Amino acid sequence: MNSLGFDKAPADTRVVVAMSGGVDSSVVAALLKEQGYDVVGVTLQLYDHGVALARKGACCAGQDIYDARMVAERLDFPHYVLDYESKFSDAVMQEFADSYLKGETPIPCVRCNQRVKFRDLLTQARDLGGDCLATGHYVRRVMTEQGAELRRGTDSTRDQSYFLFATTQAQLDYLRFPLGDIPKTETRAIAERFGLEVASKPDSQDICFVPNGNYVSVVERLRPGAAEPGEIVHVDGHVLGTHKGIVHYTIGQRRGIGVNEKGTNNEPLYVVRLDAQAKRVFVGPKQALARDNVTLREMNWLGRVGEPMQDVAVDVKLRSMSQAAPGHLTADAGGAARITLDEPQFGIAPGQAAVVYQEDRVLGGGWIAATGLSEMQSSGSLVARERTVSAAE
């Protein structure tokens, strides 16, 4: 059994490597080539070269395609560039714009993995004769008696499992993640050992198709005139001012709201809710953000066959950079799920993902459709309350 889990020699095992042009995927290709595998590199062109060439810290475009090609030439393995611009626009960018207009906060990187890299590219990898598709993600694929499981990356500061919650079991069977057990510092050291020019290349920071992090400009370009002005309303009901469009706001936002950013008790104001239909932005004190139940759609279950899906104790990540919070999950086979958190959390936004774990194992996740508060503190006591808040409310 070779290091990728195939019962044959590395030279007889074809590995298609998804190469973004960054240091991580380049090191994956280099390590596998060094181990004697039949490596084929594939890079996706996802958006316009004219925009890409003027950008730094992105992926899957002009300079990055060139960098991936140079790595392949240096290490002497075949490399293909596939034009997925139309697929990417249809599967990711259009929904990104529509999601913001509905008052949601989307995560296009998850949709890209789900609908492009792990669907279309995976099919292409099979067509190229690949035994598997390898990526530079910092996650682990662990084989058990029940089959392949998705686990957090060993380096907690680099773990990318949140972005891969939508990976299906069939995809996980075909995927490999060679960097899951090593820290990023070691990855760069390996790149230097191979003499790769990308060894010191900065990590991607922004959404690849959003120049300089200005997502509003992308939404306005894709949906001209769709951003309409409306009222900024305090949760107590009084109007504080006007805004230029709800696409400028996200749940939990503190700065740049456009009104006096202190409440009546001199408390900072936060964006609490976005009402897309009425074009209203609701603001209030931090405690108005508290939510302890979350309704999910498109729940992807990666638990073991026969494992309970009702009232399961889990740890929940509600944003990619947030700490996991304890709670309980109830899900059904149709993709609906509900999470009850042990303690209220703040700034949970529809359109983001809720990913559930048991220790380092990813049980799955889904898209946040609505949030609610079942208990809140009032005058020092807990008062039962149930209020559901969604982006379309």
Crossing angle of helices 184-193 and 23-34, in 10° steps, is: 60
Long-range contacts of 159-162 (CB under 8 A, 24+ apart): 161/355, 161/357, 161/362, 162/317, 162/320, 162/353, 162/355, 162/365
Q: Which of 59, 60, 112, 132 is catalytic?
A: 112
The DSSP symbol for 103 reads T
Residue type, 21: G
User: What are the DSSP E strand ranges found in the chain?
Assistant: 14-18, 38-45, 79-83, 132-134, 139-144, 147-152, 175-176, 230-234, 239-243, 270-275, 280-284, 290-301, 312-317, 325-331, 337-346, 353-358, 361-378, 381-390
Beta bridge partners of 239: 233
Q: How many Å apart are CA 224 and CA 236, to the nearest integer?
A: 33
97 vs 216: CA distance, rounded Å: 9
Q: Are 199 and 147 spatial neighbours (Cβ–Cβ below 8 Å)?
A: no
Please report the DSSP string for 15-27 in residue order. EEEE--SSHHHHH
How crowded is the C-beta side of 129, counted as CA atoms within 13 Å?
7
Angle between helices 94-101 and 215-222 (to 10 degrees): 100
Backbone angles phi, psi at 284, to 5 degrees: -175, 180
Active site residue 59: no
Pairing of strands 79-83, 337-346: unpaired
What phi and psi, each to the nearest 5 degrees, are found at residue 265? -100, 25
The reply to whether 112 belongs to the active site is yes
Which residues are annotated as catalytic? Answer: 112, 208
